Structure 1
Amino acid sequence: MSLPSAALLPPSVACNYVALWTNDLQVELTQQPMKRGKSFTLEQDVAICNARLNIFQDPFNAVSKPQYNFWDRIYQNYVELTGDQNVRSQCSVQSRWKLIFGSCKKFHDCLARVEDKQSGLTESNKVLRANMLYFEHEKKRFAFNHCWEILQHKMKDLVPAKSPDPRTKDRDPNIHSSFSSHPPDPNTLVSPESDKDSYYIMESRKSKRPTRRRAEKEAHRRSKVVNTLDSRICDLMEQFTKQLAESDKKKAEVAERKVKVMEEMNERQQREQDDRIMSMDTSNMGPRARAYYEHRKSDIYFKTMGTLQTSPIWRTRASLTIFMPK
């Protein structure tokens, strides 16, 4: 979009004209589709995780660099590790961290479930079953194993603490004693809200589930998860064994067909060679050559006759010839 000539216009009109053209240019630039950048490399993912842990574990960063907020300091550390400030923006790095941490948290939950249910497994088997469980729930494989090696021992520290629920918020422990030991003064006005709060506090504490019952429910839920996981693994192993057997069977059939084809080709080549020898004219050959080829012709003849005599068709024709009336 080119700037029109406004040299012949009055100054006020020319200024308005340039302002309108600038606004149109900004609208045109904002309407252009943004191009997606290149995918993050493994080194960049590792640098993001290291930068996040460096700032998270260093308590002096907040004091030494108070002008930066938390993600400003993380991005500065990421640039120091990679040196690609002009390649990735802070917003891009922050979005990538959310994706990495979300996937690692889900994988951490899967691994925790496997460790709770499957005792006695090796670390490699635990990770393998956690990957299978992650694939079963997310319908895709876990793609951040390189980040998991860095974050696996810091997941509990990185998970943000849940905000307390106002409905289950702990109240003053002396409220019940004061409420029961000091009866309300009839001359004192009591608001409906205070009565309602006291009532709900008492009811919520009465309705708390016993610890034993909660533990039994949790054990029952975990046993169901273990049974489901074991059944799923058995099904996968059975499918794998069946597919392996079918593959071996197909390979054996292909090998058998190849052998049969090779035998047929050899027989065809031998017949062609025998036919060529049988049709050779030995009258112009020397004595030795004539004797050799006559001997070969005899061998071919007796071999062919022996093969024909053992065939069912030859036997049928021979029997018809014997019993046929002259």
Structure 2
Amino acid sequence: MSYSLQIQEAKTVYKDKEGHQFGFDHCWTLLRFQQKWMVEHKKIEATRIFKAPTKNQISINLEDDNGNAPEPAPLKRPIGRKAAKEANKKTKSNEQGDDDEKESSKVRSELEEFRARRLESDRVKAEQLKLLINIEQKQVALREKEIELQARSEETKIMSMDTSSMNPIQAEYFISLQREILAKRAGKNGNE
């Protein structure tokens, strides 16, 4: 009996037994050689050996070795949900460990880069601070010279004033200033 005739006979038996046609042909063609159903078929075959078929039951062997039926490839049965979840957790924990290691090395390298940038920034700031201090010291020295020049200019004016045409109080005031200037100059010259 050919494979297609066996299928047709199985469909007529199903229709007689159930009262309607088999509506899952598309599913059966996809799933018939899956490991789960092969194991299920072997279980049914094992129970058929011990039970004697009744008049209403007709045994149709779909795995006839006459060359018409395609041979299923031996497949390993897929793991169950629980085992799949456990395997997934293990791979995630391994990946997380790898990710943690990668992340920590990435953080270390970023930290080293940050330290290097920070040291360079500190060095540049120190150089800029030295330059600013140097510039400020020069400005202070210039300001002191300006003040000294202004003081000399004032002293020169005071020393060159003619006190004969002034009233006596003004003349006395400027003469005392002239003496202070002379005393200060004498002290500076003595210290040098």
Q: TM-score range by the shorter chain?
A: 0.3 to 0.5
Larger Cα Rg: Structure 1 or Structure 2? 2
TM-score (norm. length: structure 1): 0.31
TM-score (norm. length: structure 2): 0.48
- RCO (CA 8 Å, sep 6+): is it higher in 1 or 2? 2
